Homo-oligomer: A and B are copies of this chain.
Amino acid sequence: MEMDEQLFTSKFGNHLKAIRLEKGLSQEMLANDADIPINQIGRIERGEISTSLTTIYKIACALDIEVKALFDF
């Protein structure tokens, strides 16, 4: 699927949010588990920022899923 970069970050954010909600976590809980500021989670889910590899990894660890699962969309 060919996609614009901004659309990609937006879809990534939506997918992250869906996974977070499936796990029954609030942004704040996820942020605490991942040791990331809560605002950062919001910015990522809204597709505002193109977050970094390490942040992605920390989030995957906090969600207890593989990183590649975050890209399954």
Contact = CB atoms under 8 A, between A and B. Distances in A.
Interface of A: 2-3, 5, 8-9, 12, 50-58, 61, 66-69, 71-72
A49 to B, nearest CB: 8
A9 B55 CA distance: 11
16 contacts: A2-B61, A3-B57, A5-B54, A5-B57, A8-B53, A8-B57, A9-B53, A50-B54, A51-B52, A52-B52, A53-B56, A66-B71, A67-B71, A68-B69, A68-B72, A71-B71
Contacts of A5: 54, 57-58
A68 to B, nearest CB: 4
A53 to B, nearest CB: 4
